[in-house]
Chain A
Amino acid sequence: MKRKSGGKDFCGFALPGLFCFAAVVIVPFIYGIYLTLTDWNGVSTEKNFIGGANFLSVLKDSQFWSSLLLTFKYVVVVVVVVNILAFAIAYLLTRGFKGQNFFRAGFFTPNLIGGLVLGYIWQFVFSRVFVGIGEATGWELFGASWLSDPTLAFVALVIVSVWQLSGYMILIYVAGFMGLNKDVMEAASIDGATGWTKLRHIILPLMMSSITICLFLTLSRAFMVYDVNLSLTAGAPYGTTEMAAMHVYEKAFTSRQFGVGQAEALILFVIVAIISGIQVYLTKKREVDA
């Protein structure tokens, strides 16, 4: 854009979108921050200012911190696996082989199943199909439902999340690969770049913007994991798979400590903001302008 008429450009291009965004996200969020400083319980007509008392209660809520620790573990595994898998699949899906569109449609299907059905189908896989395999083969790993063992239930959560999130990320990586400049790729091939060299020195740098986006999305979604957590394990067995977002929700509505739940949500937000801020900064630096 040229430098002149900056105000007009702002109004024409940026303002409508910014307005929607601010009205729906920023304003309620600020109001939400205010609520953490009051003793409001979600229903009463009175709101008394109580300062940081809710935040003090968060410090004492050991369940919250252990759920956060578990969430960290989960996020690391999920982010790494999802991105490697989705990148590889998207790469294979954009090489122009016969029938790749059929495959793409198949990899899209995880996006179509949500809610209770998701939980039901996967519960069935872990507690019935796996146990069936266990009975047939005698493998101890499949002897009992994965969902009744704390460690395996965690693994199950990771598997379902990887399945679901990578279905989404494949779409973005595919778009990224399709946007790659064919000339550059051909030039690289002519120059004799193959395999790993081509991947490392040509494809990865050019895909950096997609990678930034996907890393960020998986990072934030993994931190906020709620639906899968609720529908697959609901914290079972005995509360060992309760992630941070689910704990926040339970705190605010099941335990009826609205202010504390809201404060925990805020703390979770700050933590994720810092981590993903660092990630975006680091990966953005490696992006190349076209």
Chain B
Amino acid sequence: MKKHAPTRFLALGLSAALLAGLLSGCRFGFASDPDDPNEVEEVEPIDTSVDTFEYDQSLSGTSITLLNSKAEIQTALVEMGEVFEEKSGVHVEVMPVTDGDSPYTKVVSLYNSGNPPTLSILDTTDVIALAEEKAADLSDQPWIQEAEGYTTQINGKVYSFPLCIEGRGIIYHKEVIEETLGETFDPSTIRTQDDFVALLDRLVAAGMEHPVSLAMEDWSLGAHHLQYIYETYDGTSDGAAECINRIKDGQLDLTTYDRMSQFLDMFDILKKYNVAYRDPLGADYDEMVIDLADGKTAFWFNGNWAWPNLAEADAEEDDEYGFLPYFLNNDPDDFVNQQIQASPSKQIMLDGIVATEKEQAAAKEFLNWIVFSEIGQQMLVKTCKIIPPFQNNPYEPSDPLSRDIYSRVHEGTAFNASAIVPNDHWSVLGAALQKYLADRSDRAELIDSIVAYWDEQQ
């Protein structure tokens, strides 16, 4: 029997340690500790005293489901559903899609199981793939007027509700730049690629050897970097679509297309000043967050969705972060050097096949409630921390990245272009750009793979 002692000790020890942790945690853990850096989620109060939204009483008691593919707002959506239920009597069950499952796979399997969600939060490409087959027509909904310019039309009809605006560019950390250079930094003085390089060189001279963080993930490279070549065609979604069609048809030669070479010029700059220059494919996303927050780097190419990560790395909401454009050339009048890209990203689609009329009506009420009720408006911005694509929403986002996008959208220094590309674009061409990033391929090979990719899509 003595023989078993070590094993038992191991198991007992482990269990005891964990249990002790639980118990002590239960006793002390729930009290909010002001010094605890773990608590990033400070809840902004929602004022529920004013509510002029008219609820349809006949829908009370209906139950709808919402498939959520935006993991970071899962708890916020649940909360929002609860408040909506309190007011309208409609129950909203929020179902998550987890990392590893793509939202599309999940929706497909749910449709196959005969139990699709009433509402699904999806990417625009997914909506386009599914809409005409499965979705309910939302073209007559009142919120459409408030979302002017942000709806997606498929053959003249609107099948989806734009949930949020997301923008991307070169994130800067103002305080770090100022401390390093010993002078004030005004982002509006950086107006061309050369200005940007000059700034980088000064930072290097001041001791910050590699001021840029550059993510190596294929979604960042394939979707967020490379899609600039379509989106900067003329700065509109239609232009992006035209650009793609011309590439497919062979009318637009990528070897001579100016945006292609300009894009690569900018990419080469980021590559050169990359903090992970020794091993660019070994860069770690979570480390980049901390590097930027701690001031090891001053720039990070990413979007406003990165804020929760920065907040976890102890960035505060009154810290000064913002976006620089993805400079493509040295013409200060070119819109790409003045504006950053911002467009609706996640879409909500309503099932028109399995959902009953009552469920559809309840789902439509929920969407209108988000746009028109005082509570829905507040919760979209304050609870979900989303930049609303609706003109009538008076609330402003609170974190610096979203604030920057928000004010740029309102000042007109953001361009709303989103390229609709096939779903595997980011993974296939992301891999091609990874190869380029690691210096394992040259411009010609990269362009060849882009051309080959579009050839296959015929």
Contacts and interface: CB of A to CB of B under 8 A. Distances in A.
A–B touch (CB < 8 A): the answer is yes
Interface of A: 42-45, 98-102, 104-105, 115-116, 123, 127-128, 131, 143-145, 147-148, 230, 234-239, 250, 253-256
A131 B282 contact: yes
Contacts of B112: 42
Contacts of A116: 99-100
B423 A102 contact: no
B6 A238 contact: no
Interface of chain B: mostly helix, strand, loop or mixed: helix
A238 B432 contact: yes
Contacts of B423: 254-256
Nearest to A237: B281
Interface string B348-361: 00000000000000
B102 to A, nearest CB: 6
Nearest to A98: B3
11 contacts: A43-B134, A101-B3, A105-B11, A115-B100, A116-B100, A127-B282, A131-B282, A145-B282, A238-B431, A250-B427, A254-B424
Nearest to A148: B281
B434 A236 contact: yes
Interface of B: 3-4, 6-7, 9-11, 99-100, 102, 104-105, 108, 111-112, 129-130, 133-134, 216, 218, 278-282, 284, 422-424, 427-428, 431-432, 434-435, 438, 440
B7 A145 contact: no
Given A98-B3, A101-B6, A238-B438, A255 B424 contact: yes
Contact of B435 (A44, A238, A254): A238
Contacts of A256: 104, 129, 422-424
Query: Which of B6, B9, B280 has the largest number of chain A CB atoms within 10 A?
Result: B6
Nearest to A63: B428
B133 A45 contact: yes
Contacts of A235: 218, 427, 431
Contacts of B438: 148, 237-238
A195 B111 CA distance: 61
Contact of A127 (B134, B284, B440): B284
Contacts of B434: 236-239
Contacts of B7: 101-102, 104-105
Nearest to B433: A238
A238 B438 CA distance: 9
